[in-house]
Amino acid sequence: MRRLIRLLYPPKCPFCERLLQKEETLICAECRRSLPYAGAAGKRSGRFFSLCVSPLLYRDKARAALLRFKFGSRSGSAAAFADLMAERVERDLAGKYDLITWVPVSFLRLRRRGYSQSRILAEETARLLGAETAALLRKRRYRPPQSRLTGAAARAANVSGAFAAIHPERFLGKRVLLIDDVVTTGATLSECARVLLTEGASGVVCATLCCRPHRP
């Protein structure tokens, strides 16, 4: 069955869109070697979270693949992205969280797109890590996407009060790993972390697939 599926839908590398060779899994050898790995730059702290880690920089093939995933319904890329995220979480955040959640999208965006990329990333990553996931946050109302705003102040103001906790009893006294696709100023992650802490989480760490430098 697996062989038949592979024959009918040959798996592609999500970063360069070339067909994968038999010995390659999820990501082609060339991309594994040449992706814009974030290294030390893929680690930052925020006002309400102690650490955020990201395997990739938001540029070149990583940026293109993430945009295809976000706006082109390439939900199949999630397994490859989660593979990179799980590896980075294992390296930097092992033993620092009790359960995993994600940054929610508004109902409107969810309806338009049909899926939440952050939720898919969180669930795939959690599966690889053998961790528990739960929906802990909801978006209160539609806000302009952060990607349309420049400047840390504008981004922070835009997300202030945008999220609310659901089922706070699920994370009371627990350490939460919060997942999103990209981090820029960290305003969204920080606001989500603030809500989780206010509602009883004992700590928040974050992981995103990509990170990008921001101008204050």
Q: Which residues bind Zn ion (CB under 5 A)?
A: 13, 15-16, 28, 31
Any idea what the Cα angle at residue 169 is, between residues 163 and 174, rounded to 5°? 85
Beta carbon nearer to Zn ion, 72 or 114: 72
First to last CA, the chain: 52
Least distance in angstroms from the C-beta of 135 to Zn ion: 32
Spatial distance between the Cα atoms of 107 and 130, rounded to a whole number of angstroms: 28
Least distance in angstroms from the C-beta of 179 to Zn ion: 23
Contact 61, 36 (CB under 8 A): yes
Beta carbon nearer to Zn ion, 37 or 200: 37
Beta carbon nearer to Zn ion, 15 or 48: 15
204 forms beta bridges with 176
Beta carbon nearer to Zn ion, 16 or 110: 16
Least distance in angstroms from the C-beta of 26 to Zn ion: 10
165 forms beta bridges with 137
Beta-strand pair 43-44/163-165: unpaired
Helix (H) or strand (E) holding 6: helix 2-8
Least distance in angstroms from the C-beta of 36 to Zn ion: 13
